[in-house]
Structure 1
Amino acid sequence: MQLRQLLVVIDPSQPSQPALQRAHWLARATSAKVELLLCEYNSALVHSLIFDSDTLTSAREAMLASLHAELEAMAAPLREEGLQVSVQVRWGKPLEQVILQRVAELQPDLLLKSTHHHHSIKQRLLGNSCWQLLRHCPVPLWLVQHGEWQCRQLCAALDPLHADDKPAALDQQLIAAAQLLSDTLGIQPHYLHSYAPVPQSLLFDSALVNDYEHYRQLCATQHREAFEQLLADAGVPRNQAQLREGFAEEEIARFVHEEKIDLLLIGAIARGHLANALIGNTAERVLESVECDLLILKTATANV
């Protein structure tokens, strides 16, 4: 992961812009270029029984000009610090498609967007901009949870045995990103791997059922050896890593809470459509269960 060009999605409906705060912080530390992107669409300014097309066009242009001026005002303090900041206002919907179009054009190293918790089944099934970006964004995606934030500790969630069919290269990307952020920004890194043996109640092999503790120990040994090998290959100090038994989404959320993690790095790939929309994957379940910022990475060849 590089930090040369940042793309920040501005939410005009919100009074504060925590994603911009994160980008400002990153740019000050790395001299990265920053682009502010604001996407707007109002159907009342597209079709009307009262106004003609020229009037609607003028109204849209006036709205976009006003939004552009607001972005310029947001960019001004960053430029005064010597940072390179550009602004972009786009008209269109759905939001995630407009964002992805700009990502394809700009090819940023990192996309930053504020997010909000959504709990309704309808929103999960249909998807909102954050879920869609999580599935389809080809560049690292930083989802920002809160405005009040100090990044003192980060955690990279690893899966050396790839229990979720996650490509092996993704663990190396996560470690490299964690090391980059740690070295560049002075953040304390942690590396976490959790695993869950098959519950005894779900085993149908009588030998395993009768010697379940031995099976658990074998499972623990397998995961510990794979985790330690991954860390050794990447040059990660063992005292920065922790191995936990339990379901990933539960153990990751517990670790984030216990260690007061400010930024969680996690790998994600999309699998299918309907099944993924209904049950999600580990990254999506973690997003719903933690309140820290989330940095999602994918492999360059991931089918998203």
Structure 2
Amino acid sequence: MKLFKHILYVSEASVAQEPSIARAVSVAENNQADLTVIDVIPALTAGIGILPSGHTSGELQTALVSERRKGLESLVEPYKERLSIRLDVLQGKTYLEVIRAILRHQNDLLIKPAENPDFIERLFGSDDMQLLRNCPCPVWLTRSEEKSDYACILAAVDIDPDISDGTEQNLNRQILELSSSLATSKFAALNVLHVWDAPFEKKVRSWSDPEAVMAYVEGERSRHDGAFNRLGKEFRDQIGPEAYDHLSPQFHLRRGAPSTVIPQTVKELQADLVVMGTVARTGIAGWLIGNTAEAILEQLQCSVLAVKPSGFVSPVKLAE
């Protein structure tokens, strides 16, 4: 299944990139998509005159662009005979210029090595988080220790059994489509996770007897289980019985807070990739990353493919 047509890879010089660019090339080949590789350098302040080195700011900017372009040429050199790769060096703030490039060229997938800042114990840096919040297309952030083949992919879906929300259903459908396609192409195990809870248990416990509490909790579990099963059946219809049986996805219904349960499940399954949505149900109107999604991302140490609902509009606009 060809899911992408125009893939953008963003260079991240602070980490080892060989596994990540190999991933981008592989995805482009599998989808018969075009691939663009870019780097972004800070824009020097114009009009600062002669620098202590004797060069003007314009000359220094030109030299930096040339140096970064050579770096990109070296990065893609092993793949030049396999496909045509377009190179570009942009100037400005990284996440803004990346999103503007996506808006300009209608890219449908962004692949980037995670920044992995060494001063904090989390995988994603500030530009990564801004891309996760504001990028209009799926964002695939890879680890510098990226495996050539994934063994386990975890698809995290969010279901409200009380609300038939077209946006939510569409997002879950995208998550399952992407994760199943990748699992099939990489012969990886696919696990689908939904986290539920009984939010009013404490209140019910303060008002009722233990049997009523148990009935309430079991009722919540049963409602989520039913909705999760319906999603599984829709997924089977979506990809077809033969493909579904071959893939044999494992479904996990677990209770707790998603910000705790999802990272725990990632560790338990030793997942190589998490496919998840980054817009909370309550945040859709404002098109902002959900607090829960951000809390999850800050704990993950595996690669992430983040998806937004169709119709998402980035707050970043093309420069006038």
Distance 1:208 1:99 in 2: 57
Specify the SS of the correspondent of 1:12.
coil
* Structure 2 residue aligned with 1:267: 277
Query: After superposition, where does 1:274-289 map in structure 2 within 5 Å?
Result: 281-289=291-299
For residue 160 of structure 2, what is the amino acid of its counterpart?
L
Question: Once the two structures are superposed, what CA deviation does each residue of 1:126-159 show, in whole Å capped at 9, x if it has no partner?
Answer: x921111111111010011332424121111112
Question: Once the two structures are superposed, what CA deviation does each residue of 1:235-260 show, in whole Å capped at 9, x if it has no partner?
Answer: 05675211111111221111111111
CA RMSD of aligned residues (A): 3.3
In structure 2, the CA distance between the partners of 1:17 and 1:10, relative to structure 1 (3 Å rule), is: farther
Structure 2's unaligned 5+ residue stretches are 237-243, 315-320
**Structure 1 residue 205: Cα displacement:** 6.5
Distance 2:4 2:24 in 1: 10
Q: More displaced, 109-118 or 282-291? A: 109-118
Distance 2:144 2:51 in 1: 41
Between the two proteins, the alignment pairs up a number of residues equal to 294
In structure 2, the CA distance between the partners of 1:103 and 1:209, relative to structure 1 (3 Å rule), is: farther
Q: Is the 8 A contact 2:12 2:115 kept in 1?
A: no
Structure 1's unaligned 5+ residue stretches are none
**Structure 1 residue 39: Cα displacement:** 0.1
* Structure 2 residue aligned with 1:243: 253
In structure 2, the CA distance between the partners of 1:59 and 1:196, relative to structure 1 (3 Å rule), is: same
Give TM-score, length-normalised by structure 1: 0.84
Paired residue for 1:291, among 285, 301, 310? 301
In structure 2, the CA distance between the partners of 1:64 and 1:248, relative to structure 1 (3 Å rule), is: same
In structure 2, the CA distance between the partners of 1:233 and 1:101, relative to structure 1 (3 Å rule), is: same
Query: After superposition, where does 1:1-304 map in structure 2 within 5 Å?
Result: 2-41=3-42, 43=44, 46-48=46-48, 50-51=50-51, 55-80=56-81, 82-92=82-92, 94-116=93-115, 128-149=126-147, 150-161=149-160, 167-198=168-199, 200-203=201-204, 206-207=207-208, 211-235=212-236, 240-269=250-279, 271=283, 281-304=291-314
For residue 195 of structure 2, what is the amino acid of its counterpart?
S
Distance 2:16 2:152 in 1: 27
Distance 2:186 2:10 in 1: 22
In structure 2, the CA distance between the partners of 1:30 and 1:266, relative to structure 1 (3 Å rule), is: same
**Structure 1 residue 76: Cα displacement:** 1.6
Q: More displaced, 189-198 or 140-149? A: 140-149
**Structure 1 residue 35: Cα displacement:** 1.1
Give TM-score, length-normalised by structure 2: 0.80
Specify the SS of the correspondent of 1:289.
coil
